[in-house]
Amino acid sequence: MFQLVAFPDNLTRLRQQRGLTQQALANAAGIHVTQLRRYEAGTSQPTLDALRRIANNLATSIDSLANDDNQLPPDLKHHLAALNQLDPDEQHVIRTLIEATLLRHQARKFAG
């Protein structure tokens, strides 16, 4: 599984900014509150499906949850910001491409 270095801090921060309890977010995302606590503690990492549901319920992107935005190259920040201008179908295509590329990268790492 890929490393989500900034994920625990980002998850906690965004959940609190949205005024959600751990229980409320867990219920909305369809995960057990104990698992959400593990994610926030950094002792467990979510599946891609769980990560997607958490991001959707926090009204944010998987990228914003998983990464430290300060480490992103400026051109990538610009491209990510521009995604909001696409229609939902186009956004879905981009998400699918990104997720497939990340999964392929991880598969190659583990196979090699």
At 2 the pLDDT is: 44
Taking only the tens place, the pLDDT of each residue in 16-56 is: 999 999 999 999 999 999 999 999 999 999 999 999 999 99
pLDDT of 1 over the 60 cut:
no
Taking only the tens place, the pLDDT of each residue in 69-106 is: 666 677 777 787 788 788 999 989 988 998 888 888 88
Q: Where, residue-wise, is CATH 1.10.260.40 in the chain?
A: 1-68
Topology of domain 1-68, per CATH? 434 Repressor (Amino-terminal Domain) (1.10.260)
What is the DSSP code string of the chain?
Answer: ----TTHHHHHHHHHHHTT--HHHHHHHHTS-HHHHHHHHHTS----HHHHHHHHHHTTS-HHHHHS-GGGS-HHHHHHHHHGGGS-HHHHHHHHHHHHHHHHHHHHHHHH-
At 20 the pLDDT is: 96
Report percent pLDDT > 70 for the chain.
90
At 69 the pLDDT is: 61
